[in-house]
C-alpha cells in the first residue's frame, strides 16, 4: 500500500499534465465541431429525439432537449470552456463546465454519442481535480505579470499524471480484451474488413489495394498484442518508448484510414504525449520554454 502511494505521489514534470490540458480539449472540440455546427439537431428540441423509453445500456436517463433559442448559448459555453482549459485560463473551473456540458449532451442525445463524448467527462474531472494551469498557460503568465520574480512550478504531484497513464493502459488493455473476445483471434482480416464503407479515405483505399492480405493479418496481430499487454509495455522502462511510438503510429494510421475517427485518434495522441513522452524530449521542451521566459539562461554561468 505504501509502495503504491509512493508511486502515485512521485512528483512528475508538470509539462506532462499541461500537455494533456492543452491538447485534449482541442481534440475534443475538433470532434464536437460537426455537432456544434448543427447544434439544433444535436441538443435542440425541434430535431428528431428518441421517444421516452428506458434502456439501461443505451439510454439510461431521459433528459429534456434544450429549447432551440438556447442551443447557441449552450454551444458558446462549451466552446469557451474548452478553449479556456486549453489556454490555461481558470482551467480547473472551465474543465468542470466542459465536462458537465459534454455529459449533458452525451446523455441527452444517444445518437451522436461516441467514445470521445463518453470519456470527455472523465478527462474533465481528472483535469479539474489536478493543479493544471499552474504553468504553460494564461494563469501562469498573469502570475508572472503580477510578480516578475514568480517562477512556475516545474513538477506536479504525481496523482493526476498517473491517472492519465493508467487510463490509457486501461483503455488499451480493455479494448484488446474486447477484440480477443470478438473476432480478432478467429478472423484473419478484421482490420481489412472495416476499410470498405463510408469511413474510408484515399489512404485506406490505397492501403487496401497495396498491402497484401497477410500484411493486414500481421498488423491485426501486432495491434492485438500491443493492446492486451499495454500495461506491461508501458510499465517496463525498456519497452515504454517503443510502446509509445507504436501507439502513436497506430492512432496516426487509424486517423488517416477512418476519417470520422480522426479526432479520437488525435485525442489519444494528446493523452499519450502527456502521459508517456520520453523524459529527454520533455526536458528539452521545458528548457526551450524556460529560455523564452528568461533569455539570461542562454548566457550560461
Partner 1 sequence: MTDDPPDEIEVAYAWQSPLLPRILTIVAIVYFSAVGLDAIGSTLQTRLLPNVLTYFTQVAGLFPSAAVAVIDYRVEGWDCKASLWKEIDPRVDFPMDADSKENRFYRAMQFFRQRRPVMIALEEFLVDRHNARVQRAAQEVGVIGGIRTQSIRIPLPQPGNKVTPYERRPVASYPTEEHHYWYLTPLSRREERCSHPFTSSGDQG
| 121 binds partner 1, rule: CB under 8 A | yes
Q: Which is nearer to partner 1, 101 or 152 (CB)?
A: 152
Indicate which single residue of 6, 7, 9, 222 sits in contact with partner 1 (rule: CB under 8 A). 9
Do residues 273 and 247 touch, judged by C-beta distance below 8 A? no
| 37 binds partner 1, rule: CB under 8 A | yes
Q: Which residues pair with 59 in a beta bridge?
A: 55
Residues of this chain, 163-182, that bind partner 1 according to CB under 8 A: 163, 166-167, 170-171, 173-175, 177-179, 181-182
DSSP 187: -
Judged by DSSP in three states, 185 sits in coil
| 154 binds partner 1, rule: CB under 8 A | yes
* Minimum separation from the CB atom of position 190 to partner 1 (A): 4
* Minimum separation from the CB atom of position 296 to partner 1 (A): 16
Question: Could you tell me which stretch among 124-132, 233-241, 245-253, 271-279 binds partner 1 (CB under 8 A)?
Answer: 124-132
User: In the block, which residue shows the cell 428528431?
Assistant: 48
For residues 228 and 222, what is the distance between their CA atoms, to the nearest angstrom?
Answer: 10
Q: Which is nearer to partner 1, 114 or 242 (CB)?
A: 114
**Exposure b/e, 5-35, CB count within 10 A at least 16 = b:** eeeeeeebbbbbbbbbbbbbbbbbbbbbeeb
Do residues 274 and 13 touch, judged by C-beta distance below 8 A? no
| 93 binds partner 1, rule: CB under 8 A | no
| 89 binds partner 1, rule: CB under 8 A | no
Indicate which single residue of 77, 259, 285, 289 sits in contact with partner 1 (rule: CB under 8 A). 259
Indicate which single residue of 76, 199, 281, 287 sits in contact with partner 1 (rule: CB under 8 A). 199
Could you tell me how many residues of this chain bind partner 1 (CB under 8 A)? 89
Please list, in sequence order, all residues whose beta carbon lies within 8 angstroms of the beta carbon of residue 41, skipping any fewer than 6 positions away: 47, 48
Do residues 156 and 16 touch, judged by C-beta distance below 8 A? yes
Q: Which residues pair with 13 in a beta bridge?
A: 155
* Minimum separation from the CB atom of position 96 to partner 1 (A): 13
Residues of this chain, 207-226, that bind partner 1 according to CB under 8 A: 208-209, 212-213
Judged by DSSP in three states, 153 sits in coil
| 155 binds partner 1, rule: CB under 8 A | yes
The three grid cell numbers given for residue 280, joined into one nine-digit string: 529527454
If DSSP states are collapsed to H, E and C, what string results for 53-112?
A: CCECCCECCCCCCECHHHHHHHHHHHHHHHHHHHHCCCHHHHHHHHHHHHHHHHHHCHHH
Question: Could you tell me which stretch among 76-84, 195-203, 273-281, 291-299 binds partner 1 (CB under 8 A)?
Answer: 195-203
Indicate which single residue of 26, 90, 93, 143 sits in contact with partner 1 (rule: CB under 8 A). 143
| 296 binds partner 1, rule: CB under 8 A | no
* Minimum separation from the CB atom of position 128 to partner 1 (A): 9
| 30 binds partner 1, rule: CB under 8 A | no
For residues 25 and 86, what is the distance between their CA atoms, to the nearest angstrom?
Answer: 6
| 292 binds partner 1, rule: CB under 8 A | no
User: How many residues in total does the chain contain?
Assistant: 301
Amino acid at each position: 500500500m505504501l509502495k503504491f502511494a509512493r508511486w502515485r505521489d512521485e512528483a512528475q514534470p508538470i509539462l506532462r499534465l499541461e500537455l494533456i490540458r492543452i491538447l485534449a480539449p482541442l481534440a475534443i472540440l475538433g470532434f464536437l465541431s460537426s455537432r456544434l455546427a448543427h447544434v439544433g439537431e444535436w441538443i435542440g428540441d425541434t430535431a428528431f429525439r428518441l421517444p421516452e423509453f428506458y434502456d439501461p445500456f443505451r439510454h439510461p436517463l431521459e433528459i429534456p432537449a434544450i429549447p432551440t433559442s438556447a442551443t447557441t448559448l449552450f454551444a458558446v459555453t462549451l466552446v469557451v470552456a474548452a478553449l479556456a482549459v486549453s489556454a490555461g485560463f481558470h482551467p480547473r473551473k472551465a474543465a468542470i463546465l466542459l465536462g458537465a456540458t459534454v455529459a449533458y449532451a452525451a446523455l441527452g442525445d444517444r445518437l451522436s454519442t461516441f467514445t470521445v463524448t463518453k470519456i470527455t467527462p472523465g478527462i474533465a474531472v481528472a483535469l479539474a481535480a489536478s493543479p493544471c494551469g499552474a504553468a504553460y498557460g494564461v494563469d501562469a503568465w498573469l502570475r508572472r505579470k503580477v510578480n516578475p520574480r514568480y517562477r512556475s512550478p516545474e513538477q506536479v504531484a504525481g496523482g493526476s499524471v498517473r491517472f492519465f497513464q493508467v487510463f490509457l493502459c486501461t483503455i488499451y488493455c480493455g479494448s484488446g480484451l474486447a477484440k480477443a473476445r470478438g473476432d480478432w483471434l478467429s478472423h484473419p482480416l478484421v482490420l481489412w474488413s472495416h476499410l470498405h464503407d463510408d469511413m474510408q479515405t484515399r489512404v485506406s483505399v490505397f492501403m487496401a489495394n497495396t498491402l497484401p492480405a497477410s500484411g493486414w493479418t500481421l498488423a491485426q496481430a501486432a495491434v492485438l498484442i500491443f493492446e492486451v499487454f499495454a500495461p506491461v509495455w508501458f510499465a517496463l522502462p525498456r519497452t515504454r518508448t517503443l510502446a509509445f511510438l507504436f501507439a502513436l503510429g497506430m492512432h496516426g494510421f487509424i486517423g488517416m484510414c477512418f476519417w470520422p475517427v480522426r479526432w479520437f485518434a488525435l485525442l489519444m495522441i494528446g493523452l499519450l504525449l502527456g502521459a508517456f513522452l520520453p523524459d529527454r524530449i520533455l526536458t528539452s521542451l521545458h528548457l526551450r520554454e524556460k529560455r523564452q521566459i528568461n533569455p539570461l539562461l542562454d548566457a550560461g554561468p
